[in-house]
Copies of this chain bind each other. A is one copy, B any other.
Amino acid sequence: MTTAGQVWDLLRAQVAPRGMVEVPLGEACGRTLRTPVRAAEDMPAFDRSAVDGFAIPGGEGSSSFLVAGELRAGDPEQAAIAHGCAYHIVTGAAVPKGAEVVMLEDAKEEDDRVSFLRRGKDNIRRRGEDARAGDVMVPAGAGLTEGCVALLASIGCTHPCVTRTITACHIATGNEIVDPSIQPRPGQIRDANSALVQAWAQSRRISLSQQRLGEDEAALRDSLRADCDVLLISGGASVGRHDFTGAALREAGFEILVTKIDARPGKPLIVGRRGDQWAFGLPGNPLSHFVCLHVFVAAGIAAMEGAAEAPTLLSGKISTPIAGNPRETWWPAREELPGLCPLRWKSSGDLTSLAAANALIRVPVSGLAAGGVAEFIRTA
């Protein structure tokens, strides 16, 4: 049996990052940057006023100035201001060489003259004070947040180089599953895994195709020919006689690297590889699915994305104790900073905790005491 850490090591070592593509900034949020973005020029690129007010010759001792004009944002940079003169200036406007800026709130305007109640505050954002031309602004491997997108726009990077869209194919197997819109007959259950995988892929911008196959071995074999980055096969990963995922994967040319993990739920996880293509055989119980997607498949996807780190193991204090178990447990929990609240969870088929879960606590074999610090993964 393979531990969670061994599965991550395996994926980190063997999964190759996918190709790169330039995308317009409007499609970049949520994607992984692949080449570092540097500042092309100093930031700010010129001395800018940080306030609305007046620009006057720097350090000039007069008590009153002639208002000679205005400096607007977007106007080209002006020469030095003449002795005794002041210009209206707005936030963001270029500050003339050697000028001082006084806030509007500190000014008293009368007819065409202005005097000041207070002076000497630095109301100028100097060229290069935030960053210098050539500085790395966003490193390769970064996940592009909204803030990153704004930063890229501000430095003129309108087509960042990111990982191409990852493609996945999901195959739900099992005779007992029916479409969620259908009232199950006795012995049947609704297919929750397809909806889960669909939502999971959507939020990661994975391009997904899905099939529901029952236990048709021929159809499964056919589906395993799919040309995609990741194959996800739901159900059929346990030891029973109807469990044919592993055999079918082997037959389809996959090398099986993991057949069982030393963790629950999700123990009968299968991980296979065929060249650059990866397959995950996910145990049919929806909670096992949820755990395997977040703990293992996500790590594989992150490696394909060329992302800086995955999974992100956080640490937090748990509010109630969790008993030990012969296997490491990934326990559904609600992160409510500063702590983590373990949720009621009866079995790996029990989905009710997923209404509130936004985290999975990694519970060691020895269990966790109340107030103890635990590792966890964020799931929402």
Contact = CB atoms under 8 A, between A and B. Distances in A.
A142 B316 CA distance: 24
A228 interface: no
Nearest to A143: B380
B337 A316 contact: yes
A116 to B, nearest CB: 16
A70 B215 CA distance: 15
Contacts of A43: 350-352
Interface stretch (A4-12, A174-182, A361-369): A174-182
Contacts of A354: 145, 147-148, 150-151
Determine the interface band of chain A, counting residues with CB < 8 A from chain B: 35 or more
A154 B347 CA distance: 15
A380 B144 CA distance: 10
Contact of A150 (B44, B187, B240, B286): B286
B25 A92 contact: no
Interface string A311-333: 00011110000000000000010
A152 B195 contact: yes
A198 interface: yes
B72 A190 contact: no
A273 interface: no
A71 to B, nearest CB: 9
Contact of A74 (B104, B139, B187, B348): B187
Q: A-side binding surface: helix, strand, loop or mixed? A: loop
B125 A347 contact: yes
A153 B192 contact: yes
B355 A147 contact: yes
Nearest to A159: B181
Which of A196, A202, A332 lies at the interface centre, i.e. has the most chain B CB atoms within 10 A of its CB?
A: A196
Contacts of A69: none
Nearest to A44: B349
Interface stretch (A14-22, A45-53, A161-169, A245-253): A45-53
A355 B148 contact: yes
Given A91-B238, A104-B239, A176-B74, A187 B46 contact: yes
A158 to B, nearest CB: 5
Given A52-B239, A147-B354, 7 more contacts: A46-B187, A52-B238, A145-B358, A147-B196, A147-B355, A153-B192, A315-B337
29 contacts: A25-B195, A26-B198, A29-B202, A43-B351, A46-B186, A46-B187, A52-B238, A52-B241, A72-B242, A74-B176, A76-B187, A77-B187, A90-B238, A90-B241, A90-B242, A92-B174, A104-B240, A138-B355, A145-B379, A147-B351, A149-B196, A150-B199, A150-B354, A153-B194, A154-B190, A155-B190, A156-B180, A316-B338, A338-B373
Interface of A: 25-26, 28-30, 43-46, 48, 50, 52, 70, 72-77, 88, 90-94, 104-105, 125, 129-131, 137-139, 142, 145-158, 174-177, 180-181, 183-196, 198-200, 202-203, 238-243, 284-286, 289-290, 314-317, 332, 337-338, 346-355, 357-358, 373, 379-380
